[in-house]
């Protein structure tokens, strides 16, 4: 779907924490469950142990996330297939500097480590769409964290020594240098390529679909959960002609919609195409009340994130 159905983040967080059972959960002090304006602690990024080779991997010493090296180059961004939508137009050439992209979506266990370090707030709910106990449940440690706001995703990436990727970085990591429709090529997706179309009905363990890897080996870029990126959303942004390391449009007063990429476990094949753009309202860190919908933005059991770094 082009715009995810929002679930407003007016949340009884304490009730969520109390309802999270199963596995061998570690208690989270209630006092940490309220959003604050305190900047997160920031860790150094992983060291590069060897020169930049496309698909090379390194592992973060902060959260254990493997990241994949995406080389500099020029690629074609936007919709180029029969299902392309108006906000994917026009397709255009974009030149990118090299960067690193997380191989997987950030997991419950990784995010929990940030909460335990007092650098992240817990997700707004501890459940998933069909599971009453999900976050802080050992059974789902390696599944993507969900019900996180844009600001929570941003805070996590900073704590881990990384950042949210730009929309252009996300698409380059998914597409590579050719004109493919999906991360793996042009073949229509099926349940061997990714978690979509309610084949599973909820999230799956990250990295479960190696046949769906991008040209650089990045996984889960079609389906499972949609992913926050750093950009504000503007349906007509591509027509503005930003062609070198684009970072998206600037913010507008009282408008905080952010881009989501990758599609979700509920979406049909059209919406797990790598060019597909979705959006919902992101966080407004300037709002005075950290429990307000203005501050939090919207959340969903279908939204997670991954990080990137220079």
What would the 3-class secondary structure string for 206-244 be? CCCCHHHCCCCCCCCCCCCCEEEEEEECCCCHHHHCCCE
Query: pTM of the predicted model, to two decimals?
Result: 0.86
List the single range of 45-59, 64-78, 94-108 with lowest mean pLDDT: 45-59
Using 50, 70 and 90 to split pLDDT, how confident is the model at 255? confident
Question: What does the alpha-carbon distance between residue 222 and residue 265 come to, in Å, rounded to a whole number?
Answer: 9
Specify the number of domains making up the chain: 1
* Interatomic CA distance for residues 38 and 151, integer angstroms: 12
Closest to 91 in 3D by CA, of 102, 104, 78: 78
Instruction: Give tens-digit pLDDT for 280-309.
Output: 999 998 888 988 888 999 999 999 999 999
If DSSP codes are grouped into helix, strand and coil, which group holds residue 254? coil
Query: Kind and range of the H or E element at 143?
Result: none
**Residue 257 covered by a domain:** yes
pLDDT of residue 4: 53
Per-residue model confidence (pLDDT) at position 306: 98
Q: What pLDDT is stored for residue 29 in this prediction?
A: 36
Kind and range of the H or E element at 281? strand 278-281
- The verdict on residue 57 lying in a domain is yes
More confident residue, 12 or 142: 142
CB 220 within 8 A of CB 102: no
Residue 74: inside a domain:
yes
DSSP 22: S
Evaluate if residue 197 carries a pLDDT over 60: yes
pLDDT at 7 over 50: no
Q: Residue 77's closest CA among 276, 216, 258, 275?
A: 275
Nearest to 171 by CA among 111, 92, 280, 241: 92
| Assigned domain for 138 exists | yes
Band of pLDDT at residue 19, cut at 50, 70 and 90: very low
Kindly indicate the confidence band of residue 16, based on its pLDDT and cuts at 50, 70 and 90.
Answer: very low
CATH code, domain with 229: 3.90.1580.10
Q: With cut-offs at 50, 70 and 90, classify the pLDDT of residue 45.
A: low
Residue 224 in any domain: the answer is yes
Per residue in 85-110, pLDDT tens? 999 999 999 999 999 999 999 999 99
- 2 within a domain of the structure (yes/no): no
| Inside any domain, residue 129 | yes
Classified as helix, coil or strand, 77 is strand
Q: How much is the pLDDT for 179?
A: 96
The residues near 260 (Cβ < 8 Å, ≥ 6 apart) are 4, 226, 227, 228, 229, 277, 278, 279, 280, 303
Sorted by sequence, the CB contacts under 8 Å of residue 181 that are 6+ apart come out as 80, 81, 273, 274, 275
The parent domain of residue 59 ranges over: 7-38+53-309
For strands 66-70 and 57-59, give the pairing. antiparallel
The arithmetic mean of pLDDT across residues 247-267, rounded, is 90
Percent above pLDDT 70 for the chain: 83
Residue among 236, 88, 232 at smallest CA distance from 171: 88
Residue 295 forms part of a structural domain = yes
Question: Is residue 145 within 8 Å of 160, Cβ to Cβ?
Answer: no
State the pLDDT at residue 159. Answer: 98
Q: How many whole angstroms separate alpha carbon 162 and alpha carbon 220?
A: 19
**Dihedral pair phi/psi, residue 211, rounded to 5°:** -70, -15
Residue 45, both tokens: 């990024």
Token code pair at residue 215: 């040209």
Check: CB of residue 154 under 8 Å from CB of residue 103. no
């Amino acid at each position: 779907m082009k715009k995810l159905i929002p679930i407003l983040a007016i949340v009884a967080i304490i009730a969520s924490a109390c309802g999270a059972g199963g596995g061998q959960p570690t208690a989270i002090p209630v006092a940490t469950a309220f959003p604050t304006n305190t900047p997160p602690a920031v860790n150094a990024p992983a060291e590069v142990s060897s020169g930049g080779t496309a698909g090379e991997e390194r592992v973060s010493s902060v959260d254990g996330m493997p990241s994949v090296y995406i080389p500099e180059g020029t690629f074609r961004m936007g919709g180029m297939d029969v299902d392309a939508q108006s906000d994917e137009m026009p397709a255009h050439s974009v030149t990118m500097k090299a960067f690193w992209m997380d191989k997987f979506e950030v997991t419950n266990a990784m995010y929990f480590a940030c909460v335990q370090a007092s650098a992240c707030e817990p997700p707004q709910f501890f459940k998933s769409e069909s599971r009453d106990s999900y976050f802080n449940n050992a059974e789902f440690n390696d599944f993507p964290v969900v019900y996180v706001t844009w600001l929570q995703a941003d805070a996590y990436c900073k704590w881990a020594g990384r950042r949210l990727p730009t929309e252009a970085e996300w698409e380059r990591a998914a597409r590579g240098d050719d004109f493919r429709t999906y991360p793996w090529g042009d073949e229509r997706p099926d349940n061997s390529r990714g978690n979509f179309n309610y084949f599973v009905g909820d999230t799956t363990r990250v990295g479960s679909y190696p046949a769906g890897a991008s040209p650089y080996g990045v996984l889960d870029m079609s389906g499972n959960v949609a992913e926050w990126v750093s950009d504000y959303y503007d349906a007509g942004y591509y027509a503005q002609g930003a062609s070198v390391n684009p970072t998206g449009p600037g913010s507008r007063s009282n408008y905080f919609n952010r881009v989501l990429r990758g599609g979700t476990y509920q979406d049909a094949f059209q919406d797990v195409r790598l060019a597909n753009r979705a959006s919902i309202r992101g966080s407004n860190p300037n709002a005075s009340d950290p429990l307000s919908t203005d501050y939090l933005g919207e959340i969903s059991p279908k939204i997670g994130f991954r990080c990137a770094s220079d």
